Amino acid sequence: MNQVISLPLADPGTPVISSPTAYLRWVGKGQWRTLVVAICFGIVWLVSQALFPAAMGKAIDEGIIGGDTRSLLRWCAILVGLVTVSAFSGVLRHRYAVVNWMQGAFRSAQLVGHKAADTGEALTRAIPTGDVVATVSSDSMRIGGLYDMLARFAGSVVSYVVVALILIKASTPLGLVVLVGVPVLVGCLTFIVRPLQARQLAQREESGKLIGLGADTVAGLRVLRGIGGEQTFLSRYAVQSQSVREVGNRVAGYQAALDAAQVLLPGLFVLVVVWLGARFAIDGQITAGQLVAFYGYTAFLVIPLRNATEMVDRATRAHIGARKLTGVLAVQPDQVEAASTQPLPAGPARLHDPVSQVTIEPGQFTAVVSARPEDSAALADRLGRFGANETDVRLDGTRLADAPLADVRRRIVVSENEPRLFTGTLRDELDPWGEHDDATILEALSVASGDDVLEALPAGLDNEVEERGRAFSGGQRQRLALTRALLTGAETLVLVEPTSAVDAHTEARIAGRLTAARRGRTTVVMSASPLLLDQADHVVFLRDGKVAAAGPHDRLMTEHPDYRRTVVRGEED
């Protein structure tokens, strides 16, 4: 009962995503211990309350009407004991209900986070960004809410059976009314729940579109301001916001009907039980104490009935959330581990890309120039085994696609041209695995000409990095990303436009220091910058994605007009 559960979970597990129901069942199995504890307390909590009327009825019949003071005191003591048990178990039931809610929600949110990290761009190609965000902010919470409700629902079912058995013992007709009436009332709710579920799903779809539109707008805010497009996107957001409002209004009508039914149907049922109990008391079929007990039961039965209707609502919401979440978890990454893998050759080796016919010699600083940046970026993806298409790049004859993916990632590191920074300390941002001391980190930062970035931070390496590194300029983010790539110590480092956002003086420093720092190791730079090209051991020029020329930068500038035009244009930019 005093077990400490750390959240987020160290390992959320491998989910079953064949259906929303299967996923919800899998989540429940993952936290079955706390669910069992919560259910036990939930049963004790409500059953003890269900016995209040029975104790009061006995106190009236045996103590007051019967004139037995000892019996009156005994039943009063029992009633006080039931109240104490109910209060104690209610507190613990609530505690474990919250624990179950948090476990279910955190497990689901973690799975989405891991899937996003595992699939990368494949996820956003398959599912809009807004839908992915909504699975964490909304759907995971709805899933957790189902397990929060389970303890109360289990207690309601058991207490309902207990009350029905007591009523049958006192009066068979009255007990049968309870046994049959409650399931009928809950069944009536399906006429409201089904259309409500359809409208909640529509609301979820529209909300996901709105979140995605907002995220896209914020991400491109600078560009929008540059071209004066804020008003256009504001209008689009307003239109989508109205769509969400309209769908929400349709949901509200059915939700209001369900809420009203949670009051109306139990109220009608209570009236029936009270009327029958009064008739039986008048006819002498039950005692005065039993009549008081029946009144108590009618008040108590509202609780399990409302819990049952709330369980239907929670299950509906959780099912919708699980459907969306399993859709996210079903997305496959661009690169999947082969069924049987081949080890990569040991030590530095030659990389060859059959698509472009580019060969990267080990231990050299190779620059790749292309009139179309998308061609060199695609080559970088193939060299690092990224992208939607399977790569045929070979490392000394071994296809990267046939090698263990972890080995490829360890030996070949690709740093993209749009670096992503995350929240945390700068030290953790630059050295996520904590493998290097401060001196090594500062040395790599100096190679990337990032000393001024560090000097501007009051806490140095312990300074907090804001979300997406928004406190840094584009050039600063680029240099921090280069530092992070250098600290990997990769055998082969592929850099895509690593200096496109810095000034010429900074770029010259980076070019010289990078060459010295990576001497003897394979470095590939996708860039048309003369400052970087002048430092390269070998330059490859691509035309239409194929090798058109190769050699030293100076010779290519003299002998190949297309190459010279590409580089000069890059210098002018």
pLDDT at residue number 216 = 60
Q: Which domain holds residue 207?
A: 20-329
Residue 301 and residue 446 in one domain: no
Q: How many CA atoms lie within 13 A of 250 on its CB side?
A: 16
pLDDT band at residue 417, thresholds of 50, 70 and 90? confident
Answer whether residue 373 shows pLDDT above 60. yes
Chain segment 512-538, per-residue pLDDT in tens: 999 999 999 999 999 999 999 999 999
Residue 71 and residue 55: Cα distance in Å, rounded? 11
Evaluate whether residue 146 is within a structural domain. yes
Q: How many residues does the chain have?
A: 573
Round the average pLDDT of the chain to a whole number and report it: 85
φ and ψ at residue 522, rounded to 5 degrees? -75, 125
- 148 neighbors 50 (Cβ within 8 angstroms): no
12 within a domain of the structure (yes/no) = no
Least confident piece of the model among 41-45, 116-120, 302-306 = 302-306
**In this structure, are 31 and 141 located in the same domain?**
yes
Determine the pLDDT at residue 229.
55
What share of the chain has pLDDT > 70, as a percent? 91
| DSSP letter, residue 522 | E
Order of all β-strands in the sheet with 351-353: 358-360, 351-353, 394-395, 398-399
Q: Of 434, 414, 415, which is closest to residue 424 (Cα–Cα)?
A: 434
Asked whether the beta carbons of 149 and 304 are under 8 A apart, the reply is no
Q: Is residue 340 part of a domain?
A: no
- pLDDT for the residue 215: 62
**Coil, strand or helix at 65:** helix
In a domain, 5, yes or no: no
Residues 191 and 270 placed together within one structural domain of the fold: yes
pLDDT at 355 over 90: yes
So what's the pLDDT on residue 327? 92
Residue type, 188: C
Inside any domain, residue 34: yes
Whole-number pLDDT of residue 204: 66
Report the alpha-carbon distance of residue 73 to residue 28 in Å, rounded.
44
What is the domain-level CATH number for residue 165? 1.20.1560.10
Q: Are 140 and 108 in contact (CB under 8 A)?
A: yes
Q: Say if residue 361 is exposed, middle or buried (CB neighbours under 10 Å; 0-12, 13-18, 19+).
A: middle
- What is the rounded distance in angstroms from the CA atom of residue 164 to the CA atom of residue 178? 6
β pairing state of 424-425 and 394-395: unpaired
pLDDT of 446: 95
More confident residue, 531 or 5: 531
Is the model's pLDDT at 154 over the cut of 90?
Answer: yes
Same domain, residue pair 401 and 522: yes
Distance CA 203, CA 446 (A): 51
pLDDT of the residue at 382: 93
- Please report, as a single letter, which amino acid is at residue 367: A
Domain count of the chain? Answer: 2
Instruction: Report the distance separating Cα 64 and Cα 58, nearest Å.
Output: 9
* Closest alpha carbon to 461 in 445, 449, 481, 475: 445
What is the average pLDDT across 273-279?
A: 78
> d(Cα 169, Cα 176) in Å, to the nearest integer?
10
Q: Verify that 397 and 522 share a domain, yes or no.
A: yes
Indicate the residue type of 217: T
**Range of weakest confidence among 2-11, 105-114, 501-510:** 2-11
Residue (of 39, 54, 31) closest to 89 by Cα position: 39
Phi, psi angles (nearest 5°) of residue 495: -115, 125
pLDDT tens-digit profile of 280-295?
778 877 777 777 777 7
What's 385's domain CATH number? 3.40.50.300
Are 316 and 283 part of one and the same domain? yes
From CA 147, how far away is CA 322, in angstroms rounded? 13
- Outline where 16-139 has alpha helix (H): 20-30, 32-50, 52-58, 69-119, 121-126, 129-134
pLDDT tens per residue across span 199-245: 766 776 677 667 666 666 555 555 445 455 566 667 777 777 887 78
Higher pLDDT, 547 or 61: 547
Do 142 and 273 reside in the same domain of the chain? yes
The tokens describing 196, both together, are: 């409500």
In a domain, 114, yes or no: yes
Q: Compute CA distances 62 → 67, 76, 321, 387, whole Å.
A: 7, 11, 54, 81
Q: Which are the contacts of 163, defined by CB distance < 8 A and separation ≥ 6?
A: 50, 178, 297, 300, 301
Q: Is residue 510 scored above 60 in pLDDT?
A: yes
Terminal Cα-to-Cα distance of the chain (whole angstroms): 66
Say yes or no: 48 and 122 in one domain: yes
Is pLDDT larger for residue 569 or for residue 377?
377
Please check whether residues 96 and 163 belong to one and the same domain: yes
Q: Does residue 341 lie in a domain region?
A: no
Q: Which residues contact 79 (CB under 8 A, 6 or more apart)?
A: 52, 55, 56, 59
Same-domain check for residues 537 and 498: yes
Q: Please check whether residues 278 and 374 belong to one and the same domain.
A: no
DSSP tag of 462: G
Q: Looking at this protein, which amino acid is placed at residue 91?
A: V
Last residue of a domain, one of 299, 329, 359: 329
Mean pLDDT comparison of 193-197, 219-223, 455-459, 528-532, highest-scoring range: 528-532
Q: Which of 31-35, 120-124, 191-195, 272-276 has the highest mean pLDDT?
A: 31-35
Residue 566 sits at φ, ψ, to 5 deg, of -65, -45
Q: What does the alpha-carbon distance between residue 294 and residue 488 come to, in Å, rounded to a whole number?
A: 74
Same domain, 322 and 368: no
Between the CA of residue 450 and those of 427, 443, 463, 476, 524, what are the distances in Å? Answer: 13, 10, 15, 7, 21
- For the cut 70, the answer to whether the pLDDT of residue 3 exceeds it is no
- Quickly state the pLDDT bin for 572 (edges 50, 70, 90): very low
Q: Which helix (H) or strand (E) holds 157?
A: helix 140-170
| H-run or E-run covering 146 | helix 140-170
Q: Lowest-pLDDT range, 126-135, 140-149, 420-429?
A: 126-135
Among 22-26, 97-101, 264-268, the least confident range: 264-268
- The rounded distance, in Å, linking the Cα atoms of 103 and 108 is 8
Average pLDDT over residues 560-567: 92
What integer is the mean pLDDT of 478-486?
Answer: 93
Classify residue 4: in a domain, yes or no: no
Consecutive H or E run containing 297? helix 288-300
Count of C-beta atoms within a 10 Å radius of residue 267: 12
Whether the per-residue pLDDT at 393 is higher than 80: the answer is yes
